[in-house]
Amino acid sequence: MEPLLSVRNLTTMFTSGRRAARAVDGVDLDIFSGETLALVGESGSGKSVTSLSILRLIPDPPGKIVAGEIRFEGRDLLSLSEREMNRIRGRRIAMIFQEPMTALNPVFTIGEQLVEAVRVHRSMRRSEAERLAATWLERVGIGRPEAMLRAYPHQLSGGQRQRVMIAMAMINEPALLIADEPTTALDVTIQAQILDLMRELKRRTNTALLLITHDLGVVAEMADRVAVMYAGQIVEEAPAERLFDDPRHPYTRGLIRSMPRLDDDRPRLEPIPGTVPPAHAFPPGCRFAPRCPFRTEACAAMPALRPFGRPEDGHRVRCHLAETLPVEPAAAASNG
């Protein structure tokens, strides 16, 4: 089966004066129709820049896609004109941005913004678009949708704004939905409701989902496959269950160990020492080596992202030590 979205060697740079930062460096990703791929990593790993690059929303200057190929439904998005891209954004690929209060326009009503999202892509009378907007507000669990169409963003709670953003993204039933930290700043109960809602809408429409998050609990609940990103590169990719059962990259292990669990008998969580290096100062060789407890002299050379185990397992790791690391006994429990 051909992937819906195929990204190869995606490289995005930002420049400021004489300083150049390779925020995304040779990323490869495939997403298939109807599946959920989670892109995970700490802040500063390059996740959001990857998603904005896919939609060609990188501000130029200071940013620029300098290499790679982004094929969506058989077309190379990097070869399209801006007019052609505008037909795809919001229609075939939609995005839920990280902060709904800034993504929604404060001077227009919810109804005006939803109607515009429809009419810019479809030949539809305003009255029809308003009915469709009310239908989608109801689908995302907002009561009294006709009244909500007349409300402004500041009159809504955080959870309501996030539901409106989901309705706006799904109203044209795109083939691919990109969700950038869709539950950030929401309380736990609302987070669960939003995730349940996204799962249900995805099931009904067969929309593929690229879920960008740093929350491994969300990943375990939502994802079919997981790509772990660090310092602009994919360092591990595997089906979700396999990744939690047998993580092979030390960074993935560190992320899992730092996640609280119900069966946790550790006296404290185990954070990964240090921080993600800035994009203009990535270390030579393996970029995780300065923080890695397993590093050896071999880590002075950049490891390739290569298959681990059987090819049909779909497990890839960017680590010289992937085959020699001991099995992680607590990893499987992290999925619970």
Residue 58's alpha-carbon distances to 40, 53, 79, in angstroms, are: 20, 6, 15
pLDDT value of position 265: 65
Return the pLDDT at 332. Answer: 43
Report whether 255 contacts 228 (CB < 8 A): yes
Q: Which stretches of the chain drop beneath a pLDDT of 50?
A: 330-336
- For the chain, list the domains and their CATH numbers: 1-81+219-262+269-336 (3.40.50.300)
Rg for the chain, CA atoms, rounded: 21
- Give residue 127's pLDDT: 93
Q: Which two tokens stand for residue 73?
A: 């439904």
CA–CA separation, 322 vs 317, rounded Å? 7
Task: Supply the pLDDT for residue 267.
Answer: 63
Tell me which residue of 265, 202, 253 sits closest to 37, measured CA to CA. 202
Place of tokens 């030579």: 284
Q: What is the 3-state secondary structure (H, E, C) of the chain?
A: CCCCEEEEEEEEEEEECCEEEEEEEEEEEEECCCCEEEEECCCCCCHHHHHHHHCCCCCCCCEEEEEEEEEECCEEHHHCCHHHHHHHECCCEEEECCCHHHHCCCCCCHHHHHHHHHHCCCCCCHHHHHHHHHHHHHHCCCCCHHHHHCCCHHHCCHHHHHHHHHHHHHCCCCCEEEEECCCCCCCHHHHHHHHHHHHHHHHHHCCEEEEEECCHHHHHHHCCEEEEEECCEEEEEEEHHHHHHCCCCHHHHHHHHCCCCCCCCCCCCCCCCCCCCCHHHCCCCCCCHHHCCCCCHHHHCCCCCEECCCHHHCCEECCCCCCCCCCCCCHHHHCC
For residue 273, CA distances in Å to 63, 75, 293, 326 come to 30, 42, 9, 20
Q: How many CB atoms lie within 10 A of CB 314?
A: 15
Give me 62's structure tokens: 């200071």
